[in-house]
Amino acid sequence: MIRHLYATAVAGLLGMAALPALAANEVTLYTTREPGLIQPLLSVFTTQTQIKVNTVFVKDGLLERVKAEGGRSPADVLMTVDIGNLLDLVKGGVTQPVKSGVLDSAIPANLRGADGQWFALSMRARVLYADKGSKLTSFRYEDLANPRYKGKVCIRAGQHPYNTALIAAMIAHDGEAKTRQWLQGVKANLARKATGGDRDVARDILGGICDIGLANSYYVGHMKSAKEGTDARKWGDAIKVIRPTFAKTNGTHVNISGAAVARNAPNRDNAVKLLEFLVSEPAQNLYAQGNYEHPVRRGVMLDPVVAQNIGEVKVDPLPLTEIAKHRKQASVLVDEVGFDR
């Protein structure tokens, strides 16, 4: 039913007549996310509120663009992926605080800024891909450094934001010295150079290059839902997924997509309305069904493929802001241990 609603939203968007460029009731969204991923949600928002959403795709340099535009910037909402990128917007002075009971009640405290400067909208867990024949049923992130996995681990570059965020979380939990030792252990266990993408982990498990690897959860939905006979489907069918946890908290590491209200937003009230809509149950359902991501709002149904292969995630309670403090430290560690060489 939800998948049908998602398709209906797409069709509705394509059939809508263009509104005047200077419509009074509007909101401008600057986003680093591919517009196709979120456009169906924006279409529903416009239908419900009659507020037109002007979407501007900014692939790179979002902070620099908004800074350059200054007080004349038309941006109302800034949307991006990765907590580090979101906090860079805050530190760059291009966001403003928002007080909203709707946002605070829908989003757990560790997934939003304490001062209302940023809000998570969806989650992607850093999960373990394992050969489908593996007997593994549970896993700790710390286990990646266990010598039993020597020559059996695949992972993308340590300097990729997905991995620097995880390494930063390890530092926040265990300190730099223990994290350095762990990272050296993981490097010693690599089956190949740390490179490629997350889907390549599944590809190389299928190819017998490695037995396990870390990757983002939403790729599982894309691969296992791909057309029969395609490479992506073969990769997806070759793996099973385990939700790793940290030893200290028994929680799983997640990263986010999120948004903030721009500092000079000319349509601030509409910007807040858009954010509140994006954490509503219907919108969170569309997020889950369209992008194979985990909703931030509790009680929202997962996509069936995600539910079957991953399930609900017990999120590491460490605030994302605490993790982000250690990003630069994590990046330095990656270079110091030669992880990507």
Annotated binding site for Fe cation: 218-219
Annotated binding site: 218-219
Quick one: which of 182, 169, 82, 110 has its CA closest to 142? 182
| Amino acid in position 309 | N
